Structure 1
Amino acid sequence: MDRYEGVLNRRSMRWSKLLQEKPHVKKDWTVKRFVRKGVPSELRAKVWMSTSGAQERLDSKPGYYRSLLDMQHDPRLTETIHLDVHRTFPDNVFFQSQAEPGLLKALHNVLLAYGHHNTDVGYCQGMNFIAGYIIIITKEEEKAFWLMDALLGKILPDYYSPAMVGLRTDQEVLKELVKTKAPAVGQLMDQYPGIWSVVVSRWFICLYVDILPIETVLRIWDCLFYEGSKVLFRVALTLIRHNQPEILRARSLQDVCQCFKQITCGVFTLDCHTFMQKIFAEPGSLSMATIDKLRDKCRQGIQEDESRRL
């Protein structure tokens, strides 16, 4: 932590200088490089809002968020959210109801508004943890709502739809990427049909929340809002490639599952600065065009499987 404090201080000074020269955060190579090296906590809300397009959406629809809260609410949606809100980060001081009741109310409002904004999704388990993280950073309901919209509507389409086609597709995409980036692991995993959905579904649906250390997750999200969903694959591939010897020692399905739990813990993931450097080096080249091509192939495979079952 002593070493990382120095990194944070240097990043903060460099961001301050950058924003003096460019008050409005716009996507360019300099900002991309700065985002990859870490966004200071006091600037995260501003940078996430700008780079994701959420600020533009908020500005174009003044009063829209409040109108969603003022409308007649679906009682089933309200009840489901109410039950999950109190299960969100039970050990986190920000979400202990006695300490900060306002945050729980804000979380409830954001999820309720999003459920009415995107009726195809409504509310899905896992969304509470994502909204909770965003609220801690933004400290504003309306900004948190529009960041949720950017994530679920643009960056991760179909992750949280009833059939979760996007999530299932990306699990298959990771499987294909592992075959080329870590072929020995790919061969091992092929012995266990359906194993990828067992070991990595929470990685994707929770965007590594409660999987990796909090500061590491925030650094990943800095890049996720700027560069899009390919960052999620870079993280997964880095975890797998870095821990390849341990994974290959697995001799059973239970061993594989246990190993995938362990590889998200320890010094490698806790040292977030080094970890973030690794995710842009360890997997090698990985373009959005490659991801999109694999998504088309895997989505078609899923649809064909479903058609055969019918």
Structure 2
Amino acid sequence: MADYRNFASENPERLAKAIERGIPKSLRGMMWQLMSASHDPELEVTYQQLLKESSPQEKAIQRDLGRTFPRHEYFMDGQGVGQENLFNVLKAYSLYDTEVGYCQGLCFVVAILLLNMPDEEAFCLLVRLMKSYDLRGHFLPEMPGLQLRLYQFDRLVEELLPVLHVHFLRQGVKSSMYCSQWFLTMFSYYFPLEVVFRIYDNVLASGIEAIFAFSIMLLQKNEEALLTLKFDEILAFMKTRMFEQYVDRDAKLETLNALNDDAASMSGRSLSNDGTIGVTYLVDQFVQEALSLKITPFMLDVYAHEHEDFVRTRDAHMAETDELRNSVRQLTAKVKTLEDTIAQKDEEHCEMVKELVMNRIGYEELERELVRYKLLYAEAVHENADREATTSQRYSSLSLR
């Protein structure tokens, strides 16, 4: 640790084996900072300045504080230093990286850091994890990094556990239903803290891709049980029973006997994520089995390129779909305009027809009136002719006399 960079460059295999065996608890926080090169005095000053500001994410952060390891002694007191430091780091980061702000799950990542180092160092390591380890992509809007990890994870399951892959497909179980939480919280939501610390050891030493080995090993270890379960049972199993295969049965029996006798020393027992003394886990075995999996960078690169092609095709399809929707929307608007025009023309046509009919009716009435006047005129002419004839006869009679 006194000359970490030189030692790491000259003894990489020796260092990797030492990390695989587990970093001593008393040195873990310092080693994490050395492995990640997160120590940054200027960033610590920035952190102190950010603490003086207010964040629009404060209410969301406050809601999640009490849900983060609520029974762990460091975090259980709502007014204690644990929740205060957790709030400070999360608030400062929401101001430092406004595009990410605050996202659920981030509180568990920060809590693990705070259990191993002071808050200003935890902030610096969080920034390092987000930027250099690409954890930021898990918390950005639309979570592009998480989508990539889930795709790579699905391809690894298909490649390494084909029978389980088919079973999940038949049961409708998607990796996003259980694995999203593993990756977002770096396994800290359900898993024992001693296990989580060892996962962090390897992630900080090897990169974020180390999470795949631990994820696949958990499925492989529980494959036989998972193949017998249905959809709801699988999801419930994922939440509570995934680490049962690594429970140290002998140590558990000893612990129970010690508790019953109320006399045994409990030093060296693993802590569960609620902070209570719980069962002992075969953590070394889990780490060794996970790291023994043949997951190569080449495989992950191939899957990453596949995902890029998939995203490119999907985005092109979505763009084409949006273009078609816009065209349909425009054509629909034109059709609506034409329909309105036709309706207006129809209304005008009806008015014209109505006016024509009324004119015809008026014309027919005029014709009938003209016929009546013609008849009256004819009668008047006849009467006048008769009157003239009568008058002529009278004149003729008088002349003869």
Equivalent residue, structure 1, for 2:343: none
Q: Is 1:239–1:263's contact at 8 Å kept on the other side of the alignment?
A: no
Task: Report deviation, 1:53.
Answer: 2.0
Equivalent residue, structure 1, for 2:284: 273
Aligned with residue 292 of structure 1, among 295, 301, 304? 301
Equivalent residue, structure 2, for 1:53: 37
Task: Report deviation, 1:253.
Answer: 1.8
CA distance in 1, matches of 2:84, 2:307: 39
Aligned with residue 21 of structure 2, among 37, 55, 78? 37
Residue aligned with 1:204, SS: helix
Pairs within 5 Å for 1:213-252? 213-250=192-229, 252=230
Aligned with residue 48 of structure 2, among 66, 77, 80? 66
Aligned with residue 119 of structure 1, among 74, 98, 108? 98
Q: Structure 1 residues 65, 275: CA separation in 2 closer, same or farther (over 3 Å shift)? A: same
CA distance in 2, matches of 1:113, 1:292: 34
Q: 2:54 is aligned with what amino acid?
A: H
| TM-score, length of structure 2 as denominator length | 0.66
Q: 2:21 is aligned with what amino acid?
A: K
**Structure 2 segments unaligned to the other structure (5+ residues):** 248-280, 323-401
Does the alignment pair 1:204 with 2:183? yes
Pairs within 5 Å for 1:1-310? 19=1, 23-26=2-5, 27=8, 28-55=12-39, 58-59=40-41, 61=43, 63-70=45-52, 72-74=53-55, 76-97=56-77, 101-138=80-117, 140-155=118-133, 156-193=135-172, 195-250=174-229, 252-268=230-246, 270-281=281-292, 283=293, 285-302=294-311, 304-305=313-314, 307-309=316-318, 310=322
CA distance in 2, matches of 1:257, 1:97: 32
CA distance in 2, matches of 1:247, 1:36: 28
**Structure 1 segments unaligned to the other structure (5+ residues):** 1-18
Q: Is 1:107–1:128's contact at 8 Å kept on the other side of the alignment?
A: yes
Identity rate, percent: 22
Residue aligned with 2:81, SS: helix
Q: How many residues are treated as equivalent by the alignment? A: 280
Task: Report deviation, 1:241.
Answer: 1.1
CA distance in 1, matches of 2:124, 2:300: 25
Task: Report deviation, 1:94.
Answer: 0.9
| TM-score, length of structure 1 as denominator length | 0.84
CA distance in 2, matches of 1:38, 1:172: 29
Residue aligned with 2:15, SS: helix
Q: Is 1:211–1:264's contact at 8 Å kept on the other side of the alignment?
A: no
Task: Report deviation, 1:194.
Answer: 6.2
Q: Is 2:222–2:242's contact at 8 Å kept on the other side of the alignment?
A: no
Task: Report deviation, 1:225.
Answer: 0.8
User: Per chain length, whose mean CA-contact separation is higher, i.e. which structure has more relative contact order (CA < 8 Å, sep 6+)?
Assistant: 1
Task: Report deviation, 1:263.
Answer: 4.3
Deviation digits for residues 110-143 of structure 1 (CA, Å, limit 9, x no counterpart): 00111111111000001111111111111x1111
